[in-house]
Amino acid sequence: MTICEGRSMPYSSIAGKTWIGSRIPAAGAVRRVLDIGVGVGRYSSLFRERHADAEWVGVEIWAPYVEQFGLAQKYDRLIIADARWVDLARLGLFDVCFCGDVLEHMSASDAQELVDRLLPRCRLLFISIPLGFCPQGSVFDNPFERHVVEDYSDERIREHFPAVVDGAVETRGAWTIGTYALSRDGETIAALQALRGHDRSEPPGERPGPP
C-alpha cells in the first residue's frame, strides 16, 4: 500500500491540477464556480484568471483561513460553514464545482451524501483526494484538517461515487493524488468522454503543460 507522508494541508498538492484544467472545458461556458473547502484558495489561484467573468463562491469550515490566506480577494462570496450542512439549493446552480482534498476529512457515508447533494447543483464536479495510507492530524490548530478516512484507493473512489466519468492518478514525491470528474449531465458526460478519447489518440509528448 502507498504511504502518504509529509502532507501539509491546507496546501493541497499540485498533483492532478493540470488534468483538472484540461477537463474544465467539458462544462461549456463557465459562469458560476463553487469551491468546497477552499483552504488556501488554490483553485481560484490556478483557474480564476481563465474564467475571470465567472462568479466564484467558496465554502470554508475554518474561519481563520479567510485572513490567513487572503481568501476575500480570491472569491466573490465566502461561506464559513461545514459543507455538509450548507443549504446548497439556496446557492443556486453552478457550472463547475471543486471538492479538493475535502472528502477524506469526513466519514465515507458523509462524503457520499455530500457528493450526491452537489451533483444536481453543478454540471461538472471535480474531486481531488489522497490515495493510499495517508493519516493526518490537526494543522494550524485546525481540528478539521484531521483525516477521518485514511486509506482511499482509486477502486474505492469509483465504487463509492458511481457518477465518476473520468479520472487520473498522479504521484508527486510521497503524495499520490486521485482526481476525478463527475457529472450527471448528458452533454457534459459526452464532452468528458470526447476529451478522454482525444488523450488516447494524442501522440506522446504533445500534451499541454501545466496551467
Distance CA 27, CA 24 (A): 6
The pLDDT value recorded for residue 22 is 95
Mean pLDDT of 132-141: 57
Mean pLDDT of 81-101: 94
Helices (H), the chain: 17-23, 42-47, 64-68, 88-91, 108-118, 154-160, 186-201
The pLDDT value recorded for residue 93 is 98
Mean pLDDT of 28-34: 97
Distance CA 57, CA 19 (A): 22
The pLDDT value recorded for residue 145 is 57
The pLDDT value recorded for residue 169 is 93
The pLDDT value recorded for residue 132 is 72
Place of cell 479567510: 66
